[in-house]
Structure 1
Amino acid sequence: MAGRPTKQGIDYFPLDVGFFSDVKVRKIARACGPQSTSILICLLCNIYKDNGYYILWDEDLPFVIADIVGVSEGAVKEVLTKAIQVGFFDAEIFSVHGVLTSAGIQKRFLLATYQRKETEIIPEYMINGINHANNSINCTKNSINHVDNGQSKVKVNRKKNKENSTNVEQKKAEQAKKLAAAKAATLSRKDSFYDSLIPYVERYGREMVRDFFDYWSEMNKSETKMRFEQQTTWEVAKRLATWSKREKINGKQSYSVQSPGTYIPGRTSKDNAASRQSLEDLADAILGQH
């Protein structure tokens, strides 16, 4: 009969009473808003609950955290970026392995699990200075030292670590494939977005529509969403009308274009013919620039 699977995470973790007054947390809250503290606590809960001392950042994690906290995925990613910048999470481990962890998280996890007979540890994820050598971990906090009595040793299962490392590499490969597919899908949507603007070229002019497209099609850092896709509401006709009004307020040249066949004083029939031909080729010209 198979044995009961070894528990890796922990059921609860200590939250310092000074959490909200911590300088790192305050910097994150100042930059990302008051909801950022809820995002941080939710991240910590997921870290301690699952693997205990780290969590792999993938495309699904922002959605999971956003769904729990009730914020946008963009807000979660913004908090992550700032948290790494101020040192709430270890920047080097994240850069190399795509993993969220910190020295404080690892110390709290090891202290909470020091009586377990076995705990899976991936050495590559451990931060320098955390004592995890020679297949054992000695936990120390303040002046209280734990003495090895034969059962207090936390054994690192090297075989499982190798399997874990293989799984991590597989997950990274799958993540890379998903990211590549997401980027390709975004490029396809970008083309569709451009096509949707072509009918407005005659009204607003090629230059304004191009400026509008360049601004609203800007990609996020992961290249999986465009700027306009991150808006809570979006109507292209209304956005273009507002854009045109702002251009006029800012004193920029009007982008309006005369309809084909409209008589323009001072123009010859040759000029009008050229204008009509230009309008016919306008869509191809825009797509060629794109």
Structure 2
Amino acid sequence: MARPERNSVDYFPFLCEEGNKMFYLEETYGNDGFATFVKLLRELAKTEYHFLNLSKPSTMMYLSAKCKVQKVVLEAIINDLVDLGKFDAGLWKENNIIWCQDFIDSVQDAYKKRNNNCITFDGLLILLDSLGIRKLNKEPTKEPVNTQRKEKDIKEKDIKEKYDARKLKFSSTLQPYLEVYGKDFLNDFYSYWTEPNKSKTKFKQEMEKTWDLERRLSTWAKNDKNFKSPQNGKTDNNSGSSTNSGYKPATVDREKLIQELTDDVANGNIPGVY
């Protein structure tokens, strides 16, 4: 004859080391706080399916007598345990039911040699619905929030924002040279020096051991055979510079050039600027 299924346990593990939650209970309620918590766990252990239904006043009165505390004290301790995350908040506030997921996790070993598994939270909801104690929520269950992934996403977003801010700052250092080199020249210079590394945490200019912007711009202009200075119409190259006789310098409106660059940045025309 098959052994009948059991949905209760004769023992449960209890950590000897005192945690912050137990310390709070003892500090607030003295020994009554700690003793009540242990006795509630004992009731969960020997009760079928490991939940306590305290919706009836008589059950609450019995349990307060069992814990040797006043009913108001018992309710206060349970509410604190809910706030501390030891008992499920939804089941307690909606149906006066005590459910402790930590307890369920701790007694899994007792069910390993049985034919039946320990009840789960979802299984408890179905059971309570079948008993008419609680109406099953018809709304789809929300997926649990992956806190580690969320923290990683926040960290990655913070790194990207700081990276983009540094690129924008580098772009702003080029603005004083608009009259000298022109927008297209500075745009090419910016694109080259903001090329990211493989991890996209630094760009080329940041990895240079030394940096003198004026010298870098001058060298870039000398190496650019097609470069024509907006100021004097000269073409610079490695062998020197020659005057472009067909070029007539125009009056440069500094404010207009700066505004054009600002508009390009806002419209996303400058590569890499956010």
Normalised by the size of structure 1, how large is the TM-score? 0.40
